[in-house]
Amino acid sequence: MTLRIVEIFGPTIQGEGVLIGEPTVFVRAGGCDYRCSWCDSLHAVDSRYRHDWLPMTPEAVMAEVERLSGGLPLTVSISGGNPAIQDFGPLIALGRTKGYRFACETQGSIAQPWFADLDTLVLSPKPPSSGENPDWDRFAQCLEAAGPARAVMKIVVFDDADYAWARDAHARHPELPLYLQPGNPEVDPDQPVDLDVATARLRWLIETVTGDRWYTPRVLPQLHVLVWGNQRGV
């Protein structure tokens, strides 16, 4: 059994959401059932890049994670693409025997039994600006599959319509800790990110949330974009 892997990199920090600031190695899975209009990881999504994806056994993935981490356990962040179209169960089982912890981010369109073996499951349903239309029944199945894993919801907000949608999403799942982050319209890895623009978008989202007296979500940027721009492998 092999996994389709786009890249394994780190250690760096998790730049987003509930684990923001935490040292981690990323394992990026290839392939996705969504085509978000503003996808910042098309190289892990679009099948025209599939020849760059490496078939790797769980043992080979774990060996690379251990090489990068110097053999010292840390949190492994499984991202994509949508990692839930593959079976990461054997990798997680192997890593856990060595003391590694696992977090995974997925949009919540496909439930997997291995979600229950994660430490943290980040469910990131996509708002209207993505052009996708989440299926809330499937989302609930993902949540159920998570079982004992900590589950949280993260929503990217580009505009007022996304913001209104995020409020509805929270109303559907008020039990999930909620993380909002402003969308990043500049996703070209070859173009610099304008920090004034990026921080202005964060300011807008903070002011929108607090102006509405909505005190539930945490509002966070993509730290890695502020620090490294859209550069890959960091």
What would the x/- binding string for its own copies be over residues 9 to 48, using CB under 8 A?
-xxxx------xxxx-------------------------
User: In angstroms, rounded to a whole number, what is the distance separating the alpha carbons of residues 146 and 119?
Assistant: 9
Question: Which amino acid type is present at position 3?
Answer: L
Q: Is 37 assigned to a binding site?
A: no
Q: Is 147 assigned to a binding site?
A: no
Q: What angle, 0 to 180 degrees and rounded to 10, lies between the N-to-C axes of helices 89-97 and 58-69? A: 40
User: In angstroms, rounded to a whole number, what is the distance separating the alpha carbons of residues 96 and 103?
Assistant: 12
Q: Is 104 assigned to a binding site?
A: no
Which of 108-116, 124-132, 152-160, 203-211 is the region at the interface with its own copies (rule: CB under 8 A)? Answer: 203-211
Instruction: List the structure tokens of 76.
Output: 């492994």
88, 114, 165, 179: which one binds its own copies (CB under 8 A): 179
Q: Is 114 assigned to a binding site?
A: no
Please, which residue, 35 or 203, has the CB nearer to its own copies?
A: 203
Least distance CB 198 / its own copies (angstroms): 9
Query: Which residues from 47-86 bind its own copies, rule CB under 8 A?
Result: 69-70, 72-75
User: In angstroms, rounded to a whole number, what is the distance separating the alpha carbons of residues 46 and 49?
Assistant: 6
Count CB-CB contacts under 10 A for residue 68.
17
Count CB-CB contacts under 10 A for residue 107.
25
Instruction: List the structure tokens of 104.
Output: 């995974």
Under DSSP, the state recorded for 66 is: H
129 is a site residue for its own copies (CB under 8 A)? no
Please, which residue, 172 or 218, has the CB nearer to its own copies?
A: 218
219 is a site residue for its own copies (CB under 8 A)? yes
- The CA angle 35-198-172, to the nearest 5 degrees, is 50
* Binding-site sequence positions for Mg(2+): 41
Interface residues with its own copies (CB under 8 A) are 10-13, 20-23, 69-70, 72-75, 179, 195-196, 199, 202-203, 206, 209-210, 213-221, 223, 226-228
